[in-house]
Amino acid sequence: MEVQFRLNGKQVTVEAGGDTILLDVLRNLGCRSVKCGCETTNCGLCTVWIDGKSRLSCSVLAASVEGCEITTLEGVEKEAAAFGAFLADEGAEQCGFCSPGFIMNVLAMFRELKNPSVDEIKEYLSGNLCRCTGYMGQLRAIQKYMQSSQAAKTLEDKESSMEVSA
């Protein structure tokens, strides 16, 4: 069957069988950040956004994304690189195999939750497995990124209000 959707802002059409999973379609389209880890929805390596929400592409049939907007790490490269620098600074990227799915989920969390607590962060990211880091470096990177993002937002807001009053 023919399936049409937007992938990272571009319209695509693919041929997919009724049992074809989105993970396989995305990999075939060159989205190498979407990885196959467990195929049982337990690791988070295949995390993508479907219409802005984090989803595990190993559990989504390709036919079900007709007309949807799919975003992979390739579609948010600048934002991902900014957060990735914080991961690297904390030594939390290690082998990097889990990083794409983890970063996609972290960025989705920032869009969804305002100033999440440590417990909220842990809960939100509980489906992302990493066998290298022990998670503490990742948590520090998230907190530092949040602080940096909030500082940048405050500065932007001040600059905007100064332009309006001028």
Q: What is the pLDDT of residue 77?
A: 94
| Structural domain ending residue among the three candidates 74, 98, 116 | 74
Domain coverage including residue 15: 2-74
Assess whether 147 and 133 both reside in one domain.
yes
Q: What is the pLDDT of residues 91-116, one digit of tens each?
A: 887 787 888 999 999 999 989 888 89
Assess whether 111 and 129 both reside in one domain.
yes
Assess whether 53 and 123 both reside in one domain.
no
Assess whether 58 and 100 both reside in one domain.
no
Q: pLDDT: is 152 or 131 the higher one?
A: 131
| Structural domain ending residue among the three candidates 74, 102, 123 | 74
Q: What is the pLDDT of residue 153?
A: 66
Q: CATH number for the domain including 37?
A: 3.10.20.30
Overall number of domains in the chain? 2
- Find out whether 40 and 102 touch, Cβ atoms under 8 Å: no
Q: What is the pLDDT of residues 118-144, one digit of tens each?
A: 999 999 888 888 877 778 889 999 999
When pLDDT is averaged across residues 12-25 and rounded to a whole number, the result is 96
Q: CATH number for the domain including 93?
A: 1.10.150.120
pTM of the complete model: 0.84
Q: What angle do CA 19, 25, 29 make, to 5 degrees?
A: 165
Give the helix ranges, DSSP H, for the chain.
22-28, 77-89, 99-112, 118-124, 136-165
Q: What is the pLDDT of residue 14?
A: 97
Assess whether 47 and 117 both reside in one domain.
no
Assess whether 35 and 56 both reside in one domain.
yes
Segment among 26-30, 36-40, 135-139 with least mean pLDDT: 36-40
Q: What are the two backbone dihedrals, phi and then psi, of residue 72, each rounded to the nearest 5 degrees?
A: -115, 175
Answer whether residue 61 shows pLDDT above 70.
yes
When pLDDT is averaged across residues 13-36 and rounded to a whole number, the result is 96
158: buried, middle or exposed (CB in 10 Å: 19+, 13-18, 0-12)? exposed
The percentage of the chain sitting over the pLDDT mark of 70, rounded to a whole number, equals: 90
| Structural domain ending residue among the three candidates 74, 89, 110 | 74
Assess whether 31 and 93 both reside in one domain.
no
Handedness of CA 51, 137, 116, 120 (dihedral sign): positive
